[in-house]
Amino acid sequence: MAVIINGKELAKKIKEQLKIECEELKKEGILPKLAVIMVGEDSASKIYVKNKSKSCDEIGIEFEEYILKEDITQQQLIDLIETLNNKKDIHGILLQSPIPKHLDINKAFEAISYKKDVDGFNPINIGKLSIGQDTFVSCTPYGIIKMFEEYNIDLEGKNVVIIGRSNIVGKPLIQCCLNKNATVTVCHSKTKNLKEFTKNADILIVAIGKSKYITSDMIKEKAVIIDVGINRGEDGKLTGDVDFENVEKKASYITPVPGGVGPMTVAMLMNNVIKAAKNIK
């Protein structure tokens, strides 16, 4: 049976340390603040924003929420971002996705100052990550790397297979793993004979959004399994992209859903806000 990587407990530990760091900043007259922009009334986004607000409150980070109408123009969105860029009391800016289809999210990410880009999506921060410079790393990949460090899972020389090539998870994760000297293979919807790749993975990271897609016959004995997927079944229960019940019996380490990668994503966002506040000193 695999060791369960408890993201919930690790996130709690990280937040407790961040709370101490936040209090130290306040003693120096710096009040860390996160601004979150949400466009429209997406129900899932509302839940995510509420969770971020709650985490800010736990740590002592100030939180400002900007809810924009669904029919706003690209320029109106950019104008708000520019206003927040220029506000000295705001250290981090986050644009909650998804946003309405008529808006270009990449242009919006480009507009966020790289110094306040706590989500790690500005091209400058992506470029810094690719050449190994200190930067804001996207929160989910960063959380996964922190899990590896906490559980002493060494990536050096290991075959890491990532399924999914999104800008939010897959692509930045490639670089994070390369920076740890792993041998990285990326699979996606056009990959042929996926099982040949997954069976060869020492570490398998899955982010595709298909419930229980990875089965025990697709992994090798004692592989490390990181499940980024969050899928809601007809019964309302959350499941990952991995068939946890059966894969757990074969893997060496595995993340649960819920309670694995999810809490770490929020913890790393909080970490990035504190980092942004420290950077102005």
pLDDT digit string, tens, across residues 55-105? 999 999 999 999 999 999 999 999 999 999 999 999 999 999 999 999 999
The Cα 196–Cα 56 span in angstroms is 43
Mean pLDDT, the chain, rounded, equals: 96
SS3 145: helix
Q: Are 170 and 186 in contact (CB under 8 A)?
A: yes
* Structural domains of the chain, ranges and CATH numbers in brackets: 29-115 (3.40.50.10860), 139-261 (3.40.50.720)
Check 15, 33, 96, 117 and give the catalytic one: 96
For 42, counting Cβ atoms within 10 Å of its Cβ (0-12 exposed, 13-18 middle, 19+ buried), the class is: middle
Query: Distance from first CA to last CA of the chain, Å, rounded?
Result: 47
Q: Which two tokens stand for residue 135?
A: 């930067």
96 annotated active-site: yes
Q: Which two tokens stand for residue 222?
A: 């004692």
Q: What pLDDT score does 196 carry? A: 97
Q: Which two tokens stand for residue 134?
A: 């200190």
Q: Would you write out the chain's pLDDT as a tens digit for each of its 281 residues?
A: 999 999 999 999 999 999 999 999 999 999 999 999 999 988 888 888 999 999 999 999 999 999 999 999 999 999 999 999 999 999 999 999 999 999 999 999 999 999 999 999 999 999 999 999 999 999 999 999 999 999 999 999 999 999 999 999 999 999 999 999 999 999 999 999 999 999 999 999 999 999 999 999 999 999 999 999 999 888 888 999 999 999 999 999 999 999 999 999 999 999 999 999 999 86
Check 15, 33, 117, 119 and give the catalytic one: 119
Q: Which two tokens stand for residue 28?
A: 């120096």
User: The whole model's pTM is what?
Assistant: 0.96
Check 52, 158, 171, 212 and give the catalytic one: 52
pLDDT digit string, tens, across residues 126-152? 999 999 999 999 999 999 999 999 999
The Cα 96–Cα 62 span in angstroms is 17
